[in-house]
Amino acid sequence: MILNTGNRSDIPAFFSDWFFNRIQEGFVCVRNPYFPHQVTKYILDPQVIDIICFCTKNPKPMLSRLDLIKDYKQFWFVTITPYNQTIEPYVPNKNEIIRSFIELSKKIGSRCIGWRYDPIFLNDCYTIEYHLRIFEKMCQKLTGYTHQCVISFIDLYQT
């Protein structure tokens, strides 16, 4: 079974204590958002879980307790974008996230962590030239700590 922790919330950034409590208890109950009366209990055991996938903008809250999940295979997608606090008010400074990314990569291996540079949006402040310049700087800092980068552009739909 693949345990994807990133569908509804940023578990590492905001709910790491809850997650580690679930790991220690050995199960998690999940409510179906479309059928609220349907609750499924999943066993959290390395014999059952093939891999845990994390998607986060801030892995730091989990870094000191990774030993609690060392028996699980893991893959992390860490989003690092160049936006300031006006755009991402609850996301730490980008340099702090990069430091956490590097620390995580050293602990779990560069093949177990991917960088997400998305969504890319363009405006008067975040121009194509700005993104190219910042992306290149981030690439230089993350070289050797991951083997993949996923990008996407924001696509606003007409309502």
Q: What whole-number distance in Å separates Cα of residue 65 and Cα of residue 88? A: 26
Residue 34: the pLDDT is 93
**Segment 75-86 mean pLDDT:** 95
The answer to whether the beta carbons of residues 16 and 58 sit under 8 Å apart is: no
Please measure the distance between the N-terminal and C-terminal CA atoms of the chain and give it in whole angstroms: 37
* Number of Cβ atoms within 10 Å of the Cβ of 53: 15
pLDDT digits (tens, 9 = 90+) for 106-140: 999 999 999 999 999 999 999 999 999 999 999 99
pLDDT digits (tens, 9 = 90+) for 35-70: 999 999 999 999 999 999 999 999 999 999 999 999
Alpha-helical (H) ranges within 39-152 are 60-63, 94-108, 128-142
Residue 154: the pLDDT is 85
Q: What whole-number distance in Å separates Cα of residue 58 and Cα of residue 75? A: 14
* 3 state SS of 56: strand
- pTM (predicted TM-score): 0.92
Residue 155: the pLDDT is 79
Run of H or E including 150: strand 149-153
- Phi and psi for 41 in degrees, rounded to 5? -100, 125
**Segment 79-98 mean pLDDT:** 94
Residue 13 banded pLDDT, cuts 50, 70, 90: very high
Residue 7: the pLDDT is 78
Q: At 3, list the tokens.
A: 């345990």
Residue 6: the pLDDT is 83
Q: What is the pLDDT of the chain when averaged over all its residues? A: 95
